[in-house]
A and B are shown apart, each in its own frame.
Chain A
């Protein structure tokens, strides 16, 4: 990989070159457009042949780590294998060509998949209703908190504008609360990793709109007092929001609805294996308990007398509304549907089983090698945290150095420096689709890096050494902004 360098595509461009076979036939320039509305100078798009474009973007792809090429234990992101069948059957020409505003008569096949997906998600989460339209986890969070606000407003309970989040929460949680017009109160996590229930009881009150929780928590452990948390929040008049980032850990084992949650989002791109696409698209379907059913975002797929149809404003008058121009990331939803049908009833709990087995096995191997677990007395869920504070102190080699050196060893780095409350941490999520040999190889690499850190710390601190670039100057990137390519000598 180290030899790979690739020019910016504009540097291949030559005036008059082009992929002409992809263009439509030329027509006479439009005569009826007013002069003052016409474009004068052409946009800066490359002029390249098809082969040049294909070669350029293929080379760029080869500069990426991905699940298909590398172990990718990025904690909290559930980088499991994305089955090829899910992509192939979601890309059947009829599905790709279907217009979002096509009549229901020309969408019964698609709508059947969406309806059944809603039903399966309800079943596996224990919720009473599901809407598929949010387009990412954070978008689902927005829908969830907006529904909680709408619920309180509908009851004229207008003082409830405070959202409680644990200090270890994902950054999207507080950001979402603010986007929904709420204020945020952070509460502490106890030494054993569970929420400090006493602090919670003291924090709730008539201002409490709700609490946002991940379970298993961002610390990679199951929140054991969840029933007590639910009682406290509900008794105070608040609702519970479940951040589904870690649903993979408990799939088929325990359901958010049974834990007492009122609103949840599911990251279909994590738990249900739709591709991450280099940063999206995701899909953040939301589920609700009975009291939030009237507020679900639209559209939803309903069924009348065996025919599927869209439920919109007229059917769900109290809905928080539309979150996307059409119905969200439909093609992603198809992939999740295919994946769930392939898993079937027993496959669901196999996901939870083997994700947990792999995480606990890898944690065991790393502990045996002398690495320090952040919560050594606790079971790992589908992920776990090790802290490299001893290495940082004794060897001056920190978590980021380990992460970068792992790249040289052919592994994508785990999540670094999250959650913020654990110093020098790596959050490691192997997922169920990895074999034991891969886990062993990763543990061996960590052991090797530990040894390198003792013998040759500067080399580790200078990693990576074998990738297309070495460590980048982030300060310069932010200070001397270079966000678009400019031709030499100006346009």
Chain B
């Protein structure tokens, strides 16, 4: 079943009009030796009822565990209106607004989004989105190389406290273009990048410094000092931020003398966890760098009768015009997720988003307090955090996580693989969605598991 409307009579008349005997004849330019003989690896078709049963069974087998994992993807309440409107066919089944007159809805929405995300990050301009937070960081590194004309080396300082997957994506995406990443260690006691650690780069030609706020450990970096250090040396600052946190935290545009490029994962703004995607990456910058920014950008202009309207603009940066000299190869972005995020930000407003941020912060504090009351559990970094923090266990984390998962609790992200130097360390998160009862359930279960293991 291929969602085809043709009747037998339609097919016969269409073939007659074309002047061929059969549909098969329309493929007569394909060498016969290349034709597919069978597709045995594809199962027979399912109708809608059958696929519904299959998918429901698969979904149920994954269950709905209580989740305290963050690590770059965060469970927030999504107002019912967000996806009820975003999945309207007029948004869901449209494409990139090449024909501006027939796409004013999408274009105006992106203009409103650009306004919101630029203001949230304290910057002047935004693009219409990139694939996700990690790929947005990769694009920001490439953009910094283009835009920072005072640096010739393409060297980017990448703190170890940046999300490990983001660092890998940046290497994979930018490594082929001679961008060199230099790892910057974090203060082992503080869990954040120390200005003193940067001193060894003082007299070197560096293109950009990446600062993630809050960093992967949830810890707040000393963004003013780091940004000041970079600006004094003509080093671009690339900020990686959580959009929810910016309702409470100083936006990168106000860090010291101000960041140059801001990117981040848009998922917390109304996008479900959904096994990792689709999410969207946001990017904002100063007006001075707008022509080096990759991706679609929408501008307001007027039509021939002088009425306001919206259109894709600065397209001379893009691959369909500039081809090999484009700022990026990006074409499709994450429009539908931007639609959801724009509706989400409109429903939240400045007050609602601040409440989400404050509640997430408070619940994480409550969680840390509850977990560290369990014998054998301690807080690893004393530094201020936003809505995530690292706790240390007195034994390997993985078996503990599996026991808790068996009880329907996803208890956090094990740091053993990416940060072996931290020993038995676990990254945990509680957003506004977590109740005191759920936090207590987690702490009690952890206590049981730790006690049982000790008794064994």
Q: Is the CB of B125 within 8 A of A23?
A: no
Contact check: which of B77, B109, B249, B303 meets A473 at CB < 8 Å? B303
Q: Which of B280-320 contact A (CB under 8 A)?
A: 280, 287, 290, 296-305, 307-311, 313-316, 318-320
Q: Is the CB of B358 within 8 A of A356?
A: no
Provide the bound-state CA to CA distance between A109 and B57, in Å.
8
Nearest CB on B from A386, distance (A): 16
Q: Is the CB of A94 within 8 A of B60?
A: yes
- Bitwise interface map of B from 42 to 62 toward A, beta carbon under 8 Å scored 1, else 0: 111111100110111111111
Q: Which of the listed residues A91, A172, A484 has the most CB atoms from chain B within 10 Å of its own CB?
A: A484
B36 at the interface (CB under 8 A from A): yes
Provide the bound-state CA to CA distance between A87 and B42, in Å.
21
Provide the bound-state CA to CA distance between A347 and B44, in Å.
9
Q: Is the CB of A328 within 8 A of B115?
A: no
Provide the bound-state CA to CA distance between A171 and B165, in Å.
29
- Bitwise interface map of A from 75 to 119 toward B, beta carbon under 8 Å scored 1, else 0: 001011111010111111111111111110111111011000001
B196 at the interface (CB under 8 A from A): no
Contact check: which of B93, B308, B323 meets A66 at CB < 8 Å? B93
B361 at the interface (CB under 8 A from A): yes
Provide the bound-state CA to CA distance between A332 and B336, in Å.
11
Residues of A in contact (CB 8 Å), total 203
Contact check: which of B220, B296, B308 meets A33 at CB < 8 Å? B220
Q: Is the CB of A360 within 8 A of B329?
A: no
Q: Which residue of A lies closest to B48 (CB)?
A: A85
Q: Is the CB of A325 within 8 A of B343?
A: no
Provide the bound-state CA to CA distance between A267 and B100, in Å.
24
Given A113-B58, A331-B275, A360-B26, are A102 and B67 neighbors across the interface (CB < 8 Å)? yes
Q: Which residue of A lies closest to B337 (CB)?
A: A281
A151 at the interface (CB under 8 A from B): no
Q: Is the CB of B11 within 8 A of A357?
A: yes
Q: Which of the listed residues B62, B114, B166 has the most CB atoms from chain A within 10 Å of its own CB?
A: B62
Instruction: Enumerate chain A residues within 8 angstroms of B316, measured Cβ to Cβ.
Output: 478
A180 at the interface (CB under 8 A from B): yes
Contact check: which of B48, B69, B315 meets A342 at CB < 8 Å? B48
Provide the bound-state CA to CA distance between A6 and B104, in Å.
10
Provide the bound-state CA to CA distance between A255 and B102, in Å.
36
Q: Is the CB of A481 within 8 A of B109?
A: no
Provide the bound-state CA to CA distance between A478 and B291, in Å.
10
Q: Which of the candidate stretches B182-190, B346-354, B370-378, B439-447 sits at the interface with the other chain? A: B346-354
Provide the bound-state CA to CA distance between A38 and B224, in Å.
12
Nearest CB on B from A296, distance (A): 12
Instruction: Enumerate chain A residues within 8 angstroms of B287, measured Cβ to Cβ.
Output: 481
Q: Which residue of A lies closest to B119 (CB)?
A: A44
Provide the bound-state CA to CA distance between A478 and B112, in Å.
18
Q: Is the CB of A485 within 8 A of B92?
A: no
Q: Which residue of B lies closest to A33 (CB)?
A: B384
Q: Which residue of A lies closest to B102 (CB)?
A: A65
Provide the bound-state CA to CA distance between A315 and B273, in Å.
26
B335 at the interface (CB under 8 A from A): yes
Q: Which of the candidate stretches A269-277, A286-294, A445-453 sits at the interface with the other chain? A: A269-277
Q: Is the CB of A325 within 8 A of B165?
A: yes
Contact check: which of B45, B323, B332 meets A341 at CB < 8 Å? B45
Provide the bound-state CA to CA distance between A250 and B29, in Å.
12
- Bitwise interface map of B from 252 to 265 toward A, beta carbon under 8 Å scored 1, else 0: 00100000000001
Q: Which residue of A lies closest to B408 (CB)?
A: A106
Instruction: Enumerate chain B residues within 8 angstroms of A13, measured Cβ to Cβ.
Output: 349
Given A469-B309, A483-B111, are A43 and B15 neighbors across the interface (CB < 8 Å)? no
Q: Is the CB of A326 within 8 A of B73?
A: yes
- Bitwise interface map of B from 112 to 136 toward A, beta carbon under 8 Å scored 1, else 0: 1011101110001110110111110
Given A19-B79, A472-B101, A473-B304, are A33 and B26 neighbors across the interface (CB < 8 Å)? no
Given A175-B329, A326-B73, A348-B39, are A435 and B5 neighbors across the interface (CB < 8 Å)? yes
Q: Which of the candidate stretches B145-153, B173-181, B229-237 sits at the interface with the other chain? A: B173-181
Provide the bound-state CA to CA distance between A47 and B75, in Å.
23
Nearest CB on A from B43, distance (A): 6
Q: Which of B379-421 contact A (CB under 8 A)?
A: 384, 401-402, 405-406, 410, 413
Given A66-B91, A175-B326, A227-B34, are A98 and B275 neighbors across the interface (CB < 8 Å)? yes
B198 at the interface (CB under 8 A from A): no
Q: Is the CB of A478 within 8 A of B2?
A: no
Q: Which residue of A lies closest to B58 (CB)?
A: A109
Nearest CB on B from A27, distance (A): 5
Contact check: which of B17, B63, B223 meets A361 at CB < 8 Å? B17
B194 at the interface (CB under 8 A from A): no
Q: Is the CB of A280 within 8 A of B48?
A: no
Q: Is the CB of B3 within 8 A of A80?
A: yes
Q: Is the CB of A329 within 8 A of B112?
A: no
Contact check: which of B14, B19, B77, B278 meets A357 at CB < 8 Å? B14
Provide the bound-state CA to CA distance between A72 and B90, in Å.
12
Instruction: Enumerate chain A residues within 8 angstroms of B352, measured Cβ to Cβ.
Output: 18-20, 22-23
Instruction: Enumerate chain B residues within 8 angstroms of A231, measured Cβ to Cβ.
Output: none
Given A85-B51, A171-B320, A181-B176, are A103 and B401 neighbors across the interface (CB < 8 Å)? yes
Nearest CB on A from B53, distance (A): 10
Provide the bound-state CA to CA distance between A127 and B365, in Å.
50
Q: Is the CB of A378 within 8 A of B29?
A: yes
Given A82-B92, A94-B60, A179-B176, are A481 and B290 neighbors across the interface (CB < 8 Å)? yes
Q: Which residue of A lies closest to B101 (CB)?
A: A467
Instruction: Enumerate chain A residues within 8 angstroms of B343, measured Cβ to Cβ.
Output: 53, 57
Instruction: Enumerate chain B residues within 8 angstroms of A480, measured Cβ to Cβ.
Output: 301
Q: Which of the listed residues B59, B314, B348 has the most CB atoms from chain A within 10 Å of its own CB?
A: B59
B23 at the interface (CB under 8 A from A): yes
Q: Is the CB of B405 within 8 A of A106?
A: yes
Nearest CB on B from A347, distance (A): 4
Instruction: Enumerate chain A residues within 8 angstroms of B3, measured Cβ to Cβ.
Output: 80-81, 83, 273, 432-433
A278 at the interface (CB under 8 A from B): yes
Instruction: Enumerate chain B residues within 8 angstroms of A107, measured Cβ to Cβ.
Output: 62, 275
Instruction: Enumerate chain B residues within 8 angstroms of A61, measured Cβ to Cβ.
Output: 85, 88, 90-91, 105
Q: Is the CB of A39 within 8 A of B251?
A: yes
Q: Is the CB of A105 within 8 A of B329?
A: no
Provide the bound-state CA to CA distance between A212 and B239, in Å.
35
Q: Which of the listed residues A18, A66, A174 has the most CB atoms from chain B within 10 Å of its own CB?
A: A66
Q: Which residue of A lies closest to B33 (CB)?
A: A227
Provide the bound-state CA to CA distance between A61 and B61, in Å.
36
Between A and B, 29 residue pairs with Cβ closer than 8 Å are: A6-B108, A8-B111, A9-B112, A28-B358, A30-B362, A37-B223, A44-B350, A82-B93, A90-B55, A97-B75, A101-B71, A109-B57, A119-B41, A138-B329, A179-B173, A224-B29, A253-B36, A277-B92, A278-B339, A281-B335, A321-B169, A322-B165, A324-B131, A330-B274, A330-B275, A342-B45, A344-B46, A357-B18, A470-B304
Q: Which 3 A-B pairs have the closest CB atoms?
A: A344-B45, A326-B276, A68-B89
14 A-B pairs besides A23-B351, A346-B45, A354-B4 with CB distance below 8 A are A42-B354, A45-B346, A50-B79, A59-B105, A60-B105, A63-B105, A69-B89, A135-B131, A180-B177, A258-B34, A279-B95, A330-B278, A345-B43, A354-B23
